[in-house]
A and B are shown apart, each in its own frame.
Chain A
Amino acid sequence: MIRRILDFVFILLFVWACMILGLWIIDSYIVPFQLPATTNNIITATLKVGVSAAMVLFWLWLWREIIRRMFWRTTGVR
């Protein structure tokens, strides 16, 4: 019982920590970012949204992969 719960506790903690880390990266690097070659705010804003969205998608993919691998490894079936 404890082992089953611990598996998920580690996943929840990892996913939560990744979310906080992602927010810190967005706040520290993505928000202040300015394209050096352009003064067009729309291009810079689109790039910022695109990079942030890609980070969210990577976060979800990582989350899915951890569970998928954990499940098939535990059941021992492929």
Chain B
Amino acid sequence: MFTELAIFILGLAATFLSMPVIIQKMRKRRIVGVDVHKKDRILIPEMGGIAVLVGLTVSVLAAIILLPEKASLLISFLATTLIAGLIGARDDLKPLNAKVKPFLTALASVPILLMPTYYPRPVFPIIGRTRLTIVYPLIIPFAIAVPSNAVNMMDPFNGTMSGTCTIVTLVLLVSSLLLHSNDGLMLSACLLGPVLALYYFNRYPAKVFSGDVGSLSIGAALGAIAVLGQVEVVTIVAFMPQIMNAFYGLATIGRLYERREVSRPINILEDGRLAASKDPKAPITLARVILARGPLHESEAARIFMILSAIAGLLAILTAQLIVMTPP
């Protein structure tokens, strides 16, 4: 536990210290985005996710020093996350096609497949341990691309992406403890510090946006924890709000889309509150469904996202407990 605590503190400190530098650099280079849900449409520095990658690199390197026998697992985890981060950075600077992005993020799984650091025997509640020697490696690219893009799509309000991902990471850490998955515990500890620090800066009112560099890399890291820590089903349950959001959006539009290609699902009212759009062509996102009962302030809507993620997290921990109770 001391190792995991040290890794967590190092990742948290590295992201916390590097974020103000990133914010300053982005402001200086005019890499800023409009905060579309504020009436005065203020400009916020983008690409704060770079600080997450800095923090994650520090925590993983510390883990390699403390646990050299886990080096290949940790390197494949870091490489997957950094590749997804590079794709996100390219998307932030020069937007990628909506169909190309999922394909490129699937390529981020190459280090896990090549090294190979996965164990093709996932455990399901009720069913128990299964053997998927042939199918499992074919699923891994999806296991990285799906969470990566689902996290990227669930960033409507200040702090929702970073906050919900902090909860998912914490849930994976607790579930790894329950399932005695040392790898899952270590990898979750590596990610928890950087995402928590990002949440501090990204929460309402945001001082920085994570950008796709942050959302794609955090999503890929969570997918990698699911595969490498053998907490696949638990991750799916913890990810239910993100899956819901991405799935409804895709089901309404009928294809992969970029936010700027479709009608806005949320409108801003005169008093600054947010309301669900009544445009039938706008995607039915989770944010739009939450606002369907009436307008809310951005901070209130963001809080609902956090509560939903916490409830999904409790169900995920319950799923982990069911796996423990399943006979081997």
Enumerate chain A interface residues (CB-CB to B < 8 A).
1, 3-5, 7-9, 11-13, 15-16, 19-20, 23-24, 26-27, 31, 60, 63-64, 67-68, 70-71, 74-75, 77-78
Contact = CB atoms under 8 A, between A and B. Distances in A.
B240 A74 contact: no
A12 B240 contact: yes
A58 to B, nearest CB: 14
B307 A67 contact: no
B276 interface: yes
B292 A8 contact: no
Contacts of A77: 278, 280
Contacts of A20: 125-126, 319, 322
Contacts, number: 70
Contacts of A7: 293
Contacts of A31: 127
A67 to B, nearest CB: 6
Interface stretch (B23-31, B47-55, B216-224, B243-251): B243-251
B324 interface: no
Interface in B31-89: none
Given A67-B244, A68-B284, A75-B276, A23 B304 contact: no
24 contacts: A3-B293, A4-B293, A5-B307, A5-B308, A8-B304, A8-B308, A11-B244, A12-B241, A13-B315, A15-B240, A16-B237, A16-B240, A16-B315, A16-B319, A20-B126, A23-B124, A23-B126, A27-B127, A64-B248, A67-B284, A67-B289, A71-B292, A75-B276, A77-B280
Contact of A27 (B126, B241, B300): B126
Nearest to A19: B237
B113 interface: no
Contacts of A67: 244, 248, 284, 289
A1 B308 CA distance: 12
Given A16-B315, A64-B248, A68-B248, 5 more contacts: A13-B315, A16-B237, A67-B244, A71-B289, A77-B280
A31 B240 CA distance: 26
Contacts of B124: 23
B312 interface: yes
A27 B125 CA distance: 10
Given A4-B293, A12-B240, A60 B308 contact: no
A16 B311 CA distance: 11
A78 B278 CA distance: 9
**Interface footprint category on B:** 20 to 34
Contacts of A16: 237, 240, 315, 319
B290 interface: yes
A13 B304 CA distance: 16
A67 B250 CA distance: 13
B289 A70 contact: yes
A67 B248 CA distance: 8
Contacts of B244: 11, 63, 67
Nearest to A75: B292
Nearest to A70: B289
Contacts of A63: 244, 247
Nearest to A74: B292
A70 B284 CA distance: 11
Contacts of A1: 300, 304
B288 interface: yes
Given A23-B124, A27-B126, A64 B315 contact: no
Contacts of B288: 71
A41 B280 CA distance: 48
